[in-house]
Structure 1
Amino acid sequence: MLQIIPELETGGAERTAVDVAAGLAEAGARALVASEGGRLVGELQSRGGEWIPFPAGTKNPFAMALNMRRLARIAHDEKVALIHARSRAPAWVGLGAARILDIPFLTTFHGSYSGTSAPKRLYNSVMARGDIVIANSGYTAGLIESLYPWAKPRIRVIHRGTDLARFAPSAIEPGRVDALRRAWGVGPHERIVLLGARLTPWKGQRVLIEAASLLRESGLGDIAYVLAGDDQGRAGYVAELDRLVAAKGLQGVVRRVGHCADMAAAFLAASVVAVPSTEPEAFGRAAVEAQALGTPVVVSDLGAVPETVLAPPSEPASVRTGWRVPAGDAPALAAALAEALSLGASARAAMALRARTHVERHFSLERMVAATLDTYMALLSPPAEGG
């Protein structure tokens, strides 16, 4: 099996490619990944995958046309039975190579690809041209159906998987949590409300700052609101956040701590994890990982994230694993955070157990890999006689 992706740097698509390759290798198949390389190459190889250096990230039409033939030769020589693309430019190359060799081709939507112009929609449409089109959430599947209704019969939803061995309280030494609290300047008496996401407007940092101001005005103190994420060069937005913090008098209360390399420990350190996105998320990794660790979550009722959190009104309060609030609604976010922070020990422990069980049942890494391998087999197995 050959997966093609621009690079093997950190990211959801890249991580999933490595995880699926490991699952293939464990099942006894050869797992090839064609990409330009990256920091995950070593992990790919250590888990049984094979890296094929390939200029998969190019968007030059002439180079892409040449790459179709080049990839077809590689696939032929390596006896590849199926090509799986995880990004648009590589998908055009993979589609061409698969058609040359007359082998199955499938794609995975790791995000939403819309496009306002006809050329852009045509370019994006390659992701809906797979013999099977995998969507990483029900929300993403709905977007694909609305944009490319002709692809509807071929869409399969396979939620992104979480490594439950890594995101387990028992796997995290207390020293890791203590180290983060010290690095963030959080006192022993302070609880943490964490927003772990890159600093970009649609991730909702401004909404959380507004909610923090409302909570302080209500008398709720000894809370550290931690914004853990890289600004990725968005100096203007960072300055805007700092001005808002100063205007609300929240210096020292709201803290920008930069990139966090140990998100498992960060989620465990938090009393509540906030995911206040103001634009739709294609999945909702932070909410799933936090629930796996038993930390209460408050998320925007928008995009795919609500699929990962059990909460009223769609579910009874007795099975709640978190809270859903309207996107961009700071008072609603503040109210939900206050409710989460007010949980007693028994109620918090019961919610943590429900959340972990929910993630184990629906969002485990093993479930995702098994579903993906089943999809491969469905494409490779001949139809039953009379079927």
Structure 2
Amino acid sequence: MPLARPLKVVQLLPALESGGVERGTVEFARELVRLGHESIVVSNGGRQVERLEQEGSRHIQLPIHRKSLWSLTQVRPLRRLLTELNADILHVRSRAPAWITWLAWRKMDPATRPRLVSTFHGMYSVNAYSAIMAKAEQVIAISDCVEQYIRDNYQVPEDKITRIYRGLDPNTFNHNPDTDGLRDEFPQFEGKKLLLMPGRLSRWKGQLDFIEVMHRLLQKRDDCHGIILGGAEANKESYREELEQRCRTLGIEQAITFTGHRSDIQAFYNLCDLTCHLSSKAEPFGRTVPEALATGCPVIAYDRGGASESLHAAFPDGLVPADDIDAFVERIDQLLNQPPGEICLPDAFYLKAQAEATLGVYYRLLDQPVAQHN
């Protein structure tokens, strides 16, 4: 994309810890810097701040993360900060910061204030609190199903919504066969067909269904080993214990490995024969699906939500009817019995395309007349 003019972009989110929204914010910030723009992130801080700053962005710590009336005390400080920054674009990525930002922004001079963009990273519960995400001048949806959700539940004009997939970094997710370190670390993987279940340990993510899939699959064939990759949040350690107990009850504890949180998930994608996605409800995007596909690892997932969009685009053989565990097991067996096919994830799922499309939204908005009332 030709650089029309360098922009000063401020992204606002609760914190910079380890979630997908946070990681995507940091990656997009790096892309902005690479393209010659000035990138600023406002959050309550976190473990990714150091990386963000090393890659050329500026971080400003402000407690805009709390879902409480106390957060209203941050409206004036944020308004002063935004006036000082004199940015071109404010991009809000979460509801609590969106409320603080909107309340600060609406009292600024419409002729000189930044333009306001929001991204719906989820299919938020429909209420007045969530409706703040629809008040931005332009709204980005991270998948077709999220875009449809916005249309169904909020009165957002069609010309205010743009669907832009969350982009993957090809330097991280690619075909890299160097997995010797993992094989050394986990000798139980040797000689097995490896099935990966990535995602934080949360009931709706489907780890219990994955254990049931493994149980039924092992009754058909004995050459498979399951990997549950992801950590439990501080208040959900009991769920991991429940998962481990379920494995023992079914007598398959030797056939499933719990890795805990890992920062080398891309290596597991390259190592494994299949990745499984078993969420019990439609995910807004389902980032692990295109991540795995980008490495060439086939994915099997229920045909719903954002996860199905990636598979329809790159590997439709991996789709099975929603909540049909028997069909899931059969599809695994089929795919393991045939040579892996070529998987080509479209450019729309990569960071370069996301950055170009998002900048397109920014430039179009900057060219539009300023609304005097919002």
Task: Confirm or deny a common fold (TM above 0.5).
Answer: yes
Residue number among 166, 173, 186 corresponding to 1:167 in the alignment: 173
Question: Residues 208 and 333 of structure 1 are in contact (CA less than 8 Å); yes or no, is this contact kept in structure 2?
Answer: no
Question: Residues 199 and 205 of structure 2 are in contact (CA less than 8 Å); yes or no, is this contact kept in structure 1?
Answer: yes
**2-side partners of 1:224 and 1:182: how far apart?**
16
Counterparts of 1:15-164 in structure 2, within 5 Å, are 15-61=23-69, 63-101=70-108, 102=110, 103=113, 104-115=115-126, 121-164=127-170
Alpha carbons of structure 1 residues 187 and 284: separation in structure 2 relative to 1, 3 Å: closer
Question: Residues 90 and 117 of structure 2 are in contact (CA less than 8 Å); yes or no, is this contact kept in structure 1?
Answer: yes
Question: Residues 192 and 226 of structure 1 are in contact (CA less than 8 Å); yes or no, is this contact kept in structure 2?
Answer: yes
- Is residue 341 of structure 2 the alignment partner of residue 333 of structure 1? no
Question: Residues 296 and 321 of structure 1 are in contact (CA less than 8 Å); yes or no, is this contact kept in structure 2?
Answer: no
Tell me the CA shift for residue 145 of structure 1.
1.6
Moved more, 228-237 or 198-207: 228-237
Counterparts of 1:198-347 in structure 2, within 5 Å, are 198-218=200-220, 220-232=221-233, 233-310=235-312, 320=315, 322-344=317-339
Question: Residues 91 and 117 of structure 2 are in contact (CA less than 8 Å); yes or no, is this contact kept in structure 1?
Answer: yes
Tell me the CA shift for residue 372 of structure 1.
0.9
Q: Secondary structure at the match of 2:152?
A: helix
Question: Residues 225 and 254 of structure 1 are in contact (CA less than 8 Å); yes or no, is this contact kept in structure 2?
Answer: yes
Name the residue aligned to 1:118.
none
Structure 2 length as normaliser, TM-score? 0.90
**2-side partners of 1:339 and 1:39: how far apart?**
42
* Alpha-carbon displacement from aligned partner over 1:163-204 (angstroms, at most 9, x marks no partner): 11211124x6x2xx2222333342421121010111222111
Structure 1 length as normaliser, TM-score? 0.87
| Percent identity for Structure 1 against Structure 2 | 31
Name the residue aligned to 2:5.
none
Alpha carbons of structure 1 residues 214 and 375: separation in structure 2 relative to 1, 3 Å: same
Alpha carbons of structure 1 residues 326 and 184: separation in structure 2 relative to 1, 3 Å: farther
Question: Residues 20 and 372 of structure 1 are in contact (CA less than 8 Å); yes or no, is this contact kept in structure 2?
Answer: no
Question: Residues 194 and 273 of structure 1 are in contact (CA less than 8 Å); yes or no, is this contact kept in structure 2?
Answer: yes
**1-side partners of 2:239 and 2:67: how far apart?**
29
After superposition, the CA RMSD in angstroms is 1.9
Unaligned runs of at least 5 residues, structure 1:
116-120, 312-318
Unaligned runs of at least 5 residues, structure 2:
1-8, 370-374
- Is residue 367 of structure 2 the alignment partner of residue 381 of structure 1? yes
* Alpha-carbon displacement from aligned partner over 1:273-316 (angstroms, at most 9, x marks no partner): 001111111101111011111111101112111000138xxxxx
Tell me the CA shift for residue 321 of structure 1.
5.2
Tell me the CA shift for residue 261 of structure 1.
1.8
**2-side partners of 1:55 and 1:307: how far apart?**
35
**2-side partners of 1:364 and 1:127: how far apart?**
24
Question: Residues 299 and 315 of structure 2 are in contact (CA less than 8 Å); yes or no, is this contact kept in structure 1?
Answer: no
**1-side partners of 2:183 and 2:148: how far apart?**
40
